[in-house]
Amino acid sequence: GSLMMISARAFGDNAQMKEHHYTGPVEHKFSPYAFNGGTVLAVAGEDFALVASDTRLSEGYGIHSRDSPKCYKLTDTTVIGCSGFHGDCLTLTKIIEARLKMYKHSNNKNMTSGAIAAMLSTILYGKRFFPYYVYNIIGGLDEEGRGAVYSFDPVGSYQRDTYKAGGSASAMLQPLLDNQIGFKNMENVEQVPLTLEKAVQLVKDVFISAAERDVYTGDALKICIITKEGVREEIMPLRKD
């Protein structure tokens, strides 16, 4: 009835913006979700993988923290990036880390990237009727040492990709990656395989562009580079406004 209609209006596309504009009397119910912003990106190469995220944590018009990265290292070959509702990100990563330990203790080996992805899908679907409001992207090396990226939706649908952007600026970044890494919609172009240096430079440029146009992305960029030597981190400053 009318309660549903009113709350649907408050939960428009940009729910977080409407709550702060005066659009007439609006009845608020307690919402267990909040949108904390942030962008995550992952790229898979021939023998490497990159997972990058900005470090801004915001809510509505305010910034909670400028130093809250969204990449979490799981194993020596896998890093996960989570954006969306920060509370669910923290709980979800705790659950994943606990399950990794359980697997390590019962099977005496680390989980592979593909196995972590499959497990995360069932964890997310386990809360199909009260989902984790998290957009996940896993980046890592598969059993053969090739780069792998797995992208998820909030309820656990996933697939393996070469590159994927998630979070608040994903709609801006994904077409740019389609063009630069996937060579889509370009004619007469030589498709050279992506090197690590070129990929890192591309990720930095892409995040600089995202920080220009998306208010929830900025402050600093953290890139986790996964190679057979392990996981290396690089930090670069971004716009702070």
Joined tokens for residue 23: 């659009």
Instruction: Provide the 10 A C-beta neighbour count for residue 66.
Output: 15
CA dihedral 116, 119, 121, 127 (to 10 degrees): -130
Among 6, 7, 19, 93, binds other proteins (CB under 8 A): 7
* Shortest CB 125 distance to other proteins, Å: 5
Among 6, 9, 33, 112, binds other proteins (CB under 8 A): 33
Q: Does 131 bind other proteins (CB under 8 A)?
A: yes
User: Smallest gap, in angstroms, from Cβ of residue 157 to other proteins?
Assistant: 4
The Cβ of residue 36 has, within 10 Å, a number of other Cβ atoms equal to 26
> Cβ of 76: how many Cβ atoms within 10 Å?
14
> What string marks each residue from 42 to 81 as x (binds other proteins by CB under 8 A) or -?
----------------------------------------
Q: Each residue of 155-191: b (16+ CB within 10 Å) or e?
A: ebebeebebbbbbbbbebbbeebeebbeeeeeeeeee
The DSSP output letter for 66 is S
Q: Which stretch binds other proteins (CB under 8 A): 36-44, 60-68, 150-158, 188-196?
A: 150-158
Q: Does 8 bind other proteins (CB under 8 A)?
A: yes
Q: Does 124 interact with other proteins (rule: CB under 8 A)?
A: yes
Sites of contact with other proteins (CB under 8 A) = 4, 7-8, 11, 15, 29-33, 35, 99, 102, 119, 121-122, 124-131, 133, 153-159, 171
